[in-house]
Amino acid sequence: MTGVAKMIDEISSIGRDLTRGGFSRAGYSTADRELRDWFTAHANQRGLDVERDRNGVLWASWNPAGAAGPAIVTGSHLDSVPGGGGYDGPLGVASALAAIDILREDGRRLQRPIAIAVFPEEEGSRFGVACLGSRLLSGAISPERALALTDDEGDSFADVARRDGLDPASMGPDAAGLARIAAFVELHVEQGRGLIDLGEPVAIASSILGHGRWRVTVDGQGNHAGTTLMADRRDPLVAAARMVVEIRDLARRTDGARATVGRLEPVPGGTNVIASQVRFWIDIRHPDDVVTASLVSQARDIIARAAQGEGCAADVREESLSPTVDFDLGLRDALRRSLPNAPELGTGAGHDAGVLASSAPTAMLFVRNPTGISHSPEELVEDADAEIGAVALATVLGELASAQSIEGTTHAQPMMAK
Ligand code: GLV
Ligand code: MN
Ligand code: MN
């Protein structure tokens, strides 16, 4: 087993989900804490200083002799979706540690420090907003809004963060933290079949689809399944079922669109009970932000019509919205020079690198996933590809940390806080 595969194997017992399969490693859970401890131990073994910033991001810095100024930063996240795979996030963290090992062995003289960042609650599985740590750091979410988010138990992010040793009052945009980033390069398992089809192990990312999440609440009349005549019902689950199918149909007729309902909760949820309320979440993605806005508006119309048709009431709330990101052209050129054989691929998945793209030059590398499946226990990376990915990352980091200046070109404005 190679270095990266061994590290992934070390954490394979943490956060296993015996009911759903795969891993359920929610942000700020016990599993998340154990994973952070695992990372800190690895970083310390390598003599890296680890600090946790006020937004809960872990930073491990390697300052080789002679290196100075803002760092070339790599890293990813350790949390997962419910019942997720073992590579989405951890592959980037383990590869970052392995890349530092490779660069050290190489003995190359570096001008800049290299840092590993581990971002909390990337999946948004617990508090509903993806990339919560990088959004706080970059100002893409206001601390007031973030701290008021609640999990399924009704615990606020403020309380959970406080219990985890963070000071909620200190959270929010961190200009000094961002100024330490000369460039950010996140390595990630590919979440589709692009590299399988191309027969290549590693790609350079070109873009991330714009995407967002909307929470829908449908209210009807809870009642008895046996005594309520079919004509007398106001069943929010029937309304929600129509909404789910019609939103799927809307995405099917819109070129390039993706719309998903992956989470639906009937209340109270009894076999012989007509639900009184249904909550569900829609994930909508499209490369063109104008089309995304139009899809959302059409989905709102579908929801209003379907609710009315069943005598129900519906409410739609935006939980997060991220514009389409084209990764920094100058940095992509630099990566292409380091990895001339790597193809460029876009992705439909969101990442902290996408959030940070508005604050620093960012780029990503994808490593082949032989199943082409992600957010599922079937997600996979072959050991040999994981090693090729780590070497590619080390090559890129080594080149960037040796460069006199980082040729970032598309340095967008900071996102508007919501
Ligand atoms: C994160 O993986 C997302 O794309 O939702
Ligand atoms: Mn993910
Ligand atoms: Mn991820």
**Model pLDDT for residues 35-73, shown as the tens digit of each residue:** 999 999 999 999 998 999 999 999 999 999 999 999 999
Q: What is the pLDDT of residue 409?
A: 60
Q: What is the pLDDT of residue 214?
A: 98
Positions in the chain short of pLDDT 70: 1-2, 407-418
Rounded to the nearest whole angstrom, what is the distance from the C-alpha of residue 53 to the centroid of ligand 1?
23
> CA 247, CA 300: separation in Å to the nearest integer?
9
Note the pTM of the prediction, 2 decimals: 0.95
| Residue 130 Cβ contacting ligand 1 at under 6 Å | yes
pLDDT in tens, 168-179: 999 999 999 999
| Residue 353 Cβ contacting ligand 1 at under 6 Å | no
DSSP state of 84: B
Q: What is the pLDDT of residue 412?
A: 45
**Residue reference for tokens 């890293």:** 75
End-to-end CA distance of the chain: 45
Tokens standing for residue 345: 């691929």
| Residue 299 Cβ contacting ligand 1 at under 6 Å | no
| Residue 8 Cβ contacting ligand 1 at under 6 Å | no
Rounded to the nearest whole angstrom, what is the distance from the C-alpha of residue 166 to the centroid of ligand 3?
23
Q: What is the pLDDT of residue 404?
A: 74
Question: DSSP 3-state assignment of 60?
Answer: strand
Q: What is the pLDDT of residue 407?
A: 65
Rounded to the nearest whole angstrom, what is the distance from the C-alpha of residue 167 to the centroid of ligand 2?
27
Closest ligand to C-alpha of residue 352 is 3
Q: Which atom in ligand 1 lies closest to the alpha carbon of residue 123?
A: 1
Contact between 371 and 339 under an 8 Å Cβ cutoff? The reply is: no
DSSP state of 240: H
H helices of 180-328, where? 194-198, 236-252, 289-309
> CA 332, CA 374: separation in Å to the nearest integer?
25
